[in-house]
Structure 1
Amino acid sequence: MGESTHTADDNGGGTPGLSRRTALTAVAATALAGAVAPGIATAGPHRPDLEGAIRVFVDAGFAGMQMRVRDERGEWVGSTGVRELGRTAEPPTDGLFRVGSTTKTFVATVVLHLVAEGRIGLDDPVADRLPRFGLDPRITVRMLLQHSSGVFNFTGEHYEDGTVVPGIPWQGQEWVDRQFHTYPPDDLVRLALSKPPRFAPGAGWSYSNTNYVLAALLIEQITGRPYGEEVRRLILRPLGLRGTSVPGTSPELPGPHAHGYHRYEVDGGWKTVDVSRQNPSWASGAGEMISTTRDLATFFSALNGGELLPAPLLAEMRRPHPDSGAHHYGLGVFVQDLGPGGGTILHHNGSVLGYGALMISTPDGRKTLTASITTGDAEDNPVLRFKELLDGLVETVFGGRVAE
């Protein structure tokens, strides 16, 4: 659920997606056109630039990648690498994957829809709607969506002086031992509130997964229904997104998918485990969702094309918080300048252990890039090169690099 503007996202939900400690906060067709190069399966027009752009991720050590690009040349879909370690088949070109912090854009869209309906205001105090937590009364709905509440990140905080305050386990043997543990969202919030806030509400900016667990609970309080049902009612059903789900506590990926892995050090050696099945409740509204590249492309194109929110609220969504610095974070979306050759892109990438997700679009929604990346057992951690790899991919598709 990382948060870096350069990454697929985090430790629980999101590139950013759940944490900044992991850089990986980091495509469908009815038939394959065939392998145009060894190890790459594609559908759509022959695009050597895109084929080469995904190959470098696997060359760097990722297990596999599937990608979908929609632009003025049509739709291109491809995959490379392996679906499962020890086997040779490529990842499915429209397989399911865990999207990590990309979940946050869905949650923010639902909250803003409720704002459009007049059921809550962006500057309303959250404590009035969720009194059981004893939240600081200065925290508003807007602050949750833009990460300016100051609430501790339940996956842990890294401070400027190098201090680390841990939250729930998010990697290593400790996480593996709790891979199927259920974390009630109220417990995640209470853990966060047991720690000192990072700053006073509205006095700064810091990516915190707790904000989006609270946002999901806010949706439930307002509507009287699980937030996943509101995601289905307002987004998935109207757009026909059949591959997207809010799994709750289910560990399954209920359809064709590439496997994701976690490699960690234990007892002086290295161990690699398959983490495709995991209880996503630890990510909750900050990063639990499952989707496909087709569905993410359709959703983000519709959102940016003005189909899901009225224009004034879409503009609010795209207004970066002034203290978010190079992240340029609005309300559930990053806004990035690619310089003279590329214009502006919007995105919210994400990751959880084993999986990274990319969801990127031009402001009009006409050009999109969506992808899933899986980690494997490479000795040299490819996540360390993720920014470089992602910058190259963005330049290939959108014509510029994220400005520093």
Structure 2
Amino acid sequence: MPDWSARLNELAVAAEVTGAVLGIWHDGETTIVPYGILNSTTQTPTTADSLFQLGSVSKPWTASMIVQLAAEGRIDLDDTIVKLLPEAPVDNRITVHHLLTHTSGIDGDLFTDTGRGDDCLERYVALLADVDQLFEPGTAYSYCNAGFVLLGRLIEVLDNRTWDQSLKARLIEPLGLTHTVTLPEEALLHNAAVGHLATDGSRVQTWQLPRSIGPAGTITASAADLLEFAKLHLTERYAAMQVPQVPFAAGIGGFVDLGLTWRIYDWGGRRLFGHDGTTISQLAFLRIDPEARLIMCLLTNSGNGTRLFEPLASEVFTQYAGVAHPEAPQPIDAPVDDRHVGRYERASVRLDVEEREGQLVMLYQATGDRLSFSDDPVHEYELRPAEPADGNHFVTRESTEHPWSPVTFAPNHVFVSGRVTPRR
């Protein structure tokens, strides 16, 4: 059996990750391994029970509560949002199912801070009146944080309490979780990680996303608690969440389909499910192999988390399931033209594609509320041609040390980071 503490240490040093916790559950046996420090300023060491932000790994928790409400007969996944929340200023065709599968068409990266009060989700939902509809509901996939805030508000109305309170009553307390929180004053009672930039490892100044983003990404938890939550999804009650609903064409990391919020992966012919999460230089990863009864999570407080996750996941899954993390797409030698040159824009992000000496470059600019917590608000990405060689498919990467990820152009938009960004 590998020494996972030694392997985590070796790979984290190579990836320049500040702190991390690896969690493995395999057929009833749990391994939790910490590495590094939680805060470069205080030099607090990472421990097995340290708390890290889960980011979008929070979304399956919110989705699980929606599935509970459906099982209780209080909602139907085909119900429209305006039927359940008449005050929601969204397209009257958008359903609960659309929100769970990121197919609503709402331009979803709205990060407005609507305060710390218990009405923050209600106030956030009212802001959606000013958000664009990118496409007809149900006709495409585009990652949508706002949709999960809408689901969180729906939970609040049906349960007559805040989303945070429902999370405690429906999941945290029944599962016996003692290291899972949503608010900073709760995290202060534990050893909690702070984020560190990928570029130089310096500690970032903003700790958490606004409370209004809670249902989409503010759960903070230990690796052990995250494994306990994941084990819940090996039971029949939540099996429908793993049924493919929407194909994911980009296929990065083996992600081939979307279930009810869970991402479904094909790793060497084995079907896994899971989710990733990114907040302010804290990256979280969760993968579950039901057939092997294997769960792996990795919590990091570094923008370099992906550099650590991919080789470590390959070793863990090779050991227990005989499969490795899929190889990242690679660039090819092919000519490019200027058909995709121009500006692309959605909520919180502006992308400018330029041609330089026969190559395409994409300039990323965080805008609006995203500027207040963006690690790297302005970044330049090289776009390299990729298969299929039709002039529309490219790959890019954060740096030469990071894996390539796909970028796909269509006549009226670019699909990057799982999001449709319209051409302006």
| TM, length-normalised to structure 2 | 0.67
Cα deviation 1:305-358 (Å, max 9, x = unaligned): 33xx2xxxx343112333433242211211111114xx2221122121032222
Counterparts in 2 of 1:271 and 1:392: CA distance versus 1, 3 Å: closer
Higher strand share: 2
C-alpha separation between the residues in 1 aligned to 2:79 and 2:300?
A: 38
Alignment RMSD: 3.0
Look up the match of 1:43: none
Equivalences, count: 317
Determine which of 297, 300, 306 is the counterpart of 2:230.
300
**Does residue 1:355 correspond to 2:277, yes or no?**
no
Unaligned 5+ runs, structure 2: 330-424
Where does residue 391 of structure 1 map in the other structure? Answer: 310
List aligned pairs for 1:4-403, cutoff 5 A. Answer: 47-48=2-3, 51-53=6-8, 55-71=10-26, 74-85=29-40, 90-155=45-110, 168=112, 184-247=120-183, 250=185, 252-262=187-197, 272-275=202-205, 277-278=207-208, 280-306=210-236, 309=237, 314-325=238-249, 326=251, 327=255, 328-340=257-269, 343-363=270-290, 366-375=293-302, 382=304, 386=306, 389-399=308-318, 400-403=323-326
For 1:145 and 1:205, locate their aligned partners in 2 and report how far apart those are by CA, in whole Å.
11
Query: SS of the residue aligned with 1:370?
Result: strand
Q: Which has the higher contact order (CA 8 A, sep 6+)?
A: 1
Q: Which residue of structure 1 aligns with residue 383 of structure 2?
A: none
Secondary structure of 1:238's counterpart equals coil
Secondary structure class of the residue paired with 2:180: coil
| Cα-to-partner distance string for 1:96-152 (whole Å, 9 max, x where unaligned) | 121111111110000000000100001011111111123212111111111111111
Asked if structure 2 preserves the Cα contact closer than 8 Å seen for 1:261 and 1:275, the reply is: no
- 1:58 shift after superposition: 3.4
Cα distance per residue 1:179-217 (max 9 Å; x no partner): 998792244334444132111111111111011000000
Larger Rg over CA atoms: 2
Please state whether the residue corresponding to 1:261 is helix, strand or coil: coil
Q: C-alpha distance in 2, partners of 1:396/1:224?
A: 45
- Secondary structure of the 2:284 match is strand
Q: Distance in 1 between matches of 2:80 and 2:157?
A: 14
Q: Are the aligned partners of 2:40 and 2:203 in contact in 1 as well (CA < 8 Å)?
A: no
Once the two structures are superposed, residues 18-77 of structure 1 have per-residue CA deviations (whole angstroms, 9 ceiling, x without a partner) of: xxxxxxxxxxxxxxxxxxxxxxxxxxxx73356314532332222111111122593322
Deviations 1:205-236 (A, max 9, x none): 11110110000001111121212222222211
SS of 1:359's equivalent in the other structure is strand
Taking the aligned partners of 1:365 and 1:139, their CA distance within structure 2 comes to 37
Whole-Å separation in 2 of the counterparts to 1:330 and 1:364? 17
Q: Aligned AA for 1:391?
A: E
| Distance in 2 of aligned mates of 1:283 and 1:262 | 22
Q: 1:231, 1:93 → 2: CA distance? A: 23
Work out the CA distance in 1 between the residues paired with 2:165 and 2:34: 31
Do the aligned partners of residues 153 and 365 (structure 1) sit closer, same or farther apart at CA in structure 2, a change above 3 Å counting?
farther
Q: Distance in 1 between matches of 2:142 and 2:209?
A: 26
Secondary structure at the aligned position of 1:335 is classed as strand
Q: Secondary structure at the match of 1:221?
A: helix
Other structure's SS at 1:94 match: coil
The amino acid across from 2:58 in the alignment is T
**SS across alignment from 1:218:** helix
Partner of 1:174: none
Percent identity for Structure 1 against Structure 2: 24
Unaligned runs of 5+ in 1: 1-45, 156-166, 169-177, 265-269, 376-380
Distance 1:179 1:152 in 2: 18
